[in-house]
């Protein structure tokens, strides 16, 4: 198998195909700290792309509540279990000498899904990427036991019709929004025996050629994130297409000048948890240094957003700001060893990071470049850091300006002085 370079695991790895890279790469940052699980993104995608017969159980975008939910059920726990079985005790990171450009999170010393595949043969023989086919039951509910009512018919006192009760979490949970990660080294692409899956050279979006697909479901098996799905009415597999007409700037309602626009699920997010864009890729597959690109800034410069399960080895291009209240062991398993650093950055953002965070859902057009106009300091806030120490966060009256691909200014957000509410137990005249 050829060796390809994977910056997320900090080392070269085996991949069934030769290394090739697009000029630009579709990428996004989600902030689960903010997600309220309203499923508006899910429905925006559903009503745009998967509303037809045979697509009833197909959710290209889904929001699952962790650690309990999953679509398909237990998708990540199952694959983590298979990897552990293939390499018992060896799925560990070496975090001693991280390098920001080449190995920002250290080196993953375990086996990726491609490297573990040779030890495992599925029901149909050897696999190119370690994986499994979820059962129909597992696909049936996008977030079973979470958004699904769990009450019984005899529970008459509920205000929601007397037959439904939402689950109650006793301790902690968070909402994890997921779409296809349009991976740099896709498991689905590597697994397809028909070469029906390809990455677009212009934006790195991964697509299934419906005329070549014969519905063998190897992509469903090989995608570690389970974002390729089988459609029985056409006998082919389908997946998120990254709303490529919008990425191409062909939706006139949001791109009157033809500049690339964010996907439907991003644009619909009411919780302002999503920021999507395109990052430039060098010939050798590295991200071109571009600290004024908001995605490059958040992911590579500040490392506040982390890939989902980087140890799978597909170099996913979806990144997450880890939810701050979740136990660190769980987060490290999910987002890799960069969790502590990311949470520290996010808990007390400096003026530049605070300004860039304002760009989430500020515009429907993709922001390729930002500029910050500095303003005076307007407040100081005491922040408790994850280690319990206090730190002072300075708030500046800065304005961040976002520009589209055509260098047109599309949005301007100004951070203003925060307001402080008196605690209820304080007397109205107390200081």
Q: Within 31-50, which residues bind other proteins (CB under 8 A)?
A: 33-34, 36-38
Kindly determine how many residues on this chain lie close enough to bind other proteins according to the rule CB under 8 A.
Answer: 76
80 part of the interface to other proteins, by CB under 8 A: no
Q: Does 409 bind other proteins (CB under 8 A)?
A: yes
> H helices within 218-363, ranges in order?
218-222, 244-247, 264-267, 294-296, 328-335, 339-347, 351-357
Residue closer to other proteins (CB basis): 201 or 327? 327
Indicate whether 410 belongs to the interface with other proteins (CB under 8 A).
Answer: yes
Q: Quick one: CA dihedral 362, 365, 370, 372, positive or negative?
A: negative
> Beta 24-30 vs 318-320: how paired, if at all?
parallel
- Span near other proteins by CB under 8 A; candidates 4-12, 131-139, 292-300, 362-370: 362-370
According to CB under 8 A, which one of 10, 22, 69, 249 is a site residue for other proteins? Answer: 69
Shortest gap between Cβ of 5 and other proteins (angstroms)? 36
Tokens of 141: 């509910």
Q: Nearest distance from residue 105's CB to other proteins, in Å?
A: 23
The neighbouring-strand residues paired with 379 are 395
* Ramachandran area for residue 195 (φ above 0: left; ψ -120 to 50: alpha; else beta): left
Asked if 348 is part of the footprint of other proteins (rule: CB under 8 A), the reply reads no
Among 119, 140, 145, 217, binds other proteins (CB under 8 A): 145
| Cβ nearer to other proteins, comparing 144 with 192 | 144
- Taking the C-alpha atoms of residue 148 and residue 70, their distance in angstroms, rounded to an integer, is 12
**Cα gap 385→346, rounded to integer Å:** 10
Quick check: 274 and 41 in contact, CB under 8 A? yes
Residue of 172, 193, 214, 289 interacting with other proteins (CB under 8 A): 172
Quick one: which of 171, 392, 428, 431 contacts other proteins (CB under 8 A)?
A: 171
- How far apart are the C-alpha atoms of 201 and 21, rounded to whole Å? 7
Show the binding pattern over residues 308-327: x = contacts other proteins (CB under 8 A), - = does not.
Answer: ---------------xxxxx
Instruction: Provide the minimum distance between the beta carbon of 107 and other proteins in the complex, in angstroms, as a whole number.
Output: 29
Cβ–Cβ under 8 Å, residues 363 and 261:
no
Q: How far is the CB of 381 from other proteins (least distance, A)?
A: 6
CA–CA gap between residue 240 and residue 238 (Å, rounded): 7
Among residue numbers 372 through 391, which ones bind other proteins (CB under 8 A)?
Answer: 379, 381-384
Residues 71 and 142 sit within 8 Å (Cβ to Cβ): yes
Among 86, 116, 219, 411, binds other proteins (CB under 8 A): 411
What is the rounded distance in angstroms from the CA atom of residue 69 to the CA atom of residue 35?
A: 15
Residue nearer to other proteins on the CB measure, 288 or 384: 384
List 1, 57, 92, 165, residue binding other proteins (CB under 8 A)? 165
Residue 194 CA to its chain's centroid (Å): 28
User: Contact, 348 vs 386, CB < 8 A?
Assistant: no
169 binds other proteins (CB under 8 A): yes
Three-state secondary-structure class, residue 7: coil
Indicate whether 423 belongs to the interface with other proteins (CB under 8 A): yes
Shortest distance, position 382 Cβ to other proteins, whole Å: 6
By the rule CB under 8 A, 211 interacts with other proteins: no
């Amino acid at each position: 198998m050829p060796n390809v370079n994977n910056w997320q695991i900090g080392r070269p790895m085996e991949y069934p195909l030769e290394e090739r890279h697009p000029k630009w790469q579709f990428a996004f940052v989600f902030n689960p700290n903010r997600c309220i699980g309203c499923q508006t993104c899910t429905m925006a995608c559903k009503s745009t792309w998967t509303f037809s017969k045979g697509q009833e159980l197909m959710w290209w975008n889904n929001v699952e509540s962790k650690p309990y939910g999953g679509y398909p059920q237990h998708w990540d726990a199952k694959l983590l279990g298979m990897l552990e079985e293939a390499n018992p005790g060896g799925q560990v990171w070496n975090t001693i000498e991280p390098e920001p450009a080449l190995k920002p999170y250290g080196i993953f010393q375990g086996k990726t899904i491609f490297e573990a595949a040779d030890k495992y043969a599925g029901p149909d023989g050897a696999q190119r990427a370690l994986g499994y086919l979820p059962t129909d039951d597992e696909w049936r509910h996008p977030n079973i036991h979470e958004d699904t009512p769990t009450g019984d018919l005899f529970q008459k006192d509920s205000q929601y019709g007397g037959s439904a009760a939402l689950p109650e979490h006793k301790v902690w949970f968070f909402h994890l929004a997921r779409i296809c990660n349009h991976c740099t080294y896709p498991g689905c692409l590597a697994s397809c025996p028909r070469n029906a899956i390809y990455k677009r050279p212009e934006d790195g979006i991964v697509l299934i050629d419906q005329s070549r697909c014969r519905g063998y479901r190897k992509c469903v098996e090989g995608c570690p994130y389970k974002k390729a799905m089988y459609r029985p009415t056409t006998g082919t597999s389908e997946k998120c297409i990254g709303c490529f007409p919008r990425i191409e700037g062909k939706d006139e309602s949001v791109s009157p000048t033809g500049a690339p626009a964010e996907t439907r699920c991003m644009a619909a997010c009411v919780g302002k948890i999503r920021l999507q864009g395109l990052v430039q890729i060098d010939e050798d597959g590295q991200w071109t240094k571009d600290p004024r690109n908001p995605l490059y800034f958040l992911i590579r410069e500040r490392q506040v957003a982390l890939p989902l399960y980087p140890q799978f080895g597909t170099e996913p291009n979806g990144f997450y700001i880890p939810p701050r209240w979740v136990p660190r062991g769980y987060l490290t398993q999910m987002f890799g060893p960069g969790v502590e650093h990311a949470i520290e950055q996010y808990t007390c953002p400096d003026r530049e990071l605070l300004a860039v965070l304002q760009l989430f859902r500020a515009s429907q057009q993709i922001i390729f470049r930002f500029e910050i106009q500095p303003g005076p300091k307007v407040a100081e806030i005491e922040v408790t850091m994850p280690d319990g120490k206090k730190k002072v966060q300075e708030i500046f009256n800065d304005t961040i300006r976002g520009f589209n691909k055509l260098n047109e200014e599309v949005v301007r957000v100004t951070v203003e002085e925060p307001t402080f509410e008196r605690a209820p137990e304080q007397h109205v005249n107390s200081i």
